[in-house]
Amino acid sequence: MAFSVYGVAILMFIAALTIMVSLEPIAKPAKKAPFFAGAVALKNHRLRSIGIIALLYNFGFFTILAYAPFLLVGLTELQVGFVFFGWGVMLAIASVFIAPRMEQKTNTLVTLLFGLSFFLICLMVIGIYADQPALVAFGVIIAGFFQGLVNTLLTTVAMENDSIERSVASSAYSFIRFTGGAIAPFVAGKIAEKWSAHWTFYFASLMILIGIFFVLRNQKYFVTVEEVEKEIELTEGQELS
């Protein structure tokens, strides 16, 4: 068990070295941000709304990370590792390659709703078959794909805020979304303790459903700069023709 932690530490060390060698120096902000700038930034309705959606989404995200391994009864440590390796590969592929293409083919709102809806379905499947490790493993791996879509799009939209400095927006957004990540493992365990593992994932599904409701209620915030520019170009082209 200890060697898995050592492995992660080595990877983090390699990542730090890569950043030091490869990343170009980032210019310091012209104005120093106040200590509570991130909290003050949450007064912005757009950032706050997207943050709440991310909080609800992260509840489902961290329920999988924190509680799904306990359902993989009978699997060895290595087999559990392979399950989450598959989850991570699916997440990475969707984040880097699929999300941008789907966004271009449709738009940010449609792609985000697609990702959230199918992530909800994955959580429901895990909940229904919580006592069947093979189906839980399958649900976890497939969920990674839809989580990759949501991760990319929510972060993109949250950072597109002209009225707030990017670093401040990032800190405020991270604070509120990881609140969901902090609460989820504790709540997941408590629900399973009082009722069953099935209800742990049903509750996580409910959080995602509420998140979808918030997305639909705040659709105007899920139009990116690129989509606005594309719409302007299309309108101008139609007027010229």
Angstrom CA distances, 48 to 104, 173, 180, 208, stand at: 26, 8, 14, 17
Token pair, residue 33, equals: 């941000």
Residue 191 has pLDDT above 70, yes or no: yes
- What pLDDT, in 10s, does the model give residues 146-184? 999 999 999 888 888 777 888 788 888 888 888 888 888
**pLDDT band at 73, cuts 50/70/90?**
very high
Residues 76 and 78: their CA atoms lie apart, in Å, by 5
* Res. 237 pLDDT band, cuts 50 70 90: low
Q: What pLDDT, in 10s, does the model give residues 195-212? A: 999 999 999 999 999 999
Q: What is the largest CA-CA distance in the chain?
A: 68
Is pLDDT at 6 greater than 90 in this prediction?
no
Handedness of CA 149, 154, 156, 157 (dihedral sign): positive
Q: Which of 2-6, 82-86, 186-190, 207-211 has the lowest mean pLDDT?
A: 2-6
- Exposure string for 184-212, b = 16+ CB within 10 A, e = fewer: beebbbebbeeeebbebbbbbbbbbbebb
Alpha helices in 30-165 (DSSP H): 37-41, 45-71, 77-93, 99-105, 108-128, 133-159
Tokens of 6: 């050592």
Other CB atoms within a 10 A radius of the CB of residue 143 amount to 25
Report residue 56's pLDDT band, with 50, 70 and 90 as the boundaries: very high
Whole-number Å distance between alpha carbons of 12 and 34: 30
Domain 37-226: CATH superfamily, name plus number: MFS general substrate transporter like domains (1.20.1250.20)
Does 45 score more than 80 pLDDT? Answer: yes
Dihedral of alpha carbons 43, 223, 115, 218, sign? positive
Sorted by where each begins, the domain ranges of the chain are 37-226
Q: How far is CA 57 from the centre of its chain?
A: 6
Straight-line distance from the first to the last Cα atom of the chain, in angstroms, rounded to the nearest whole number: 67
**What pLDDT, on a 0 to 100 scale, did the predictor assign at position 163?**
75
- The 3-state DSSP class for residue 51 equals helix
Average pLDDT over residues 22-50: 79
Mean pLDDT, residues 90-105 taken together = 92
Q: Read off the pLDDT of residues 109-144 as tens digits, 9 standing for 90 and up.
A: 999 999 999 999 999 999 999 999 999 999 999 999
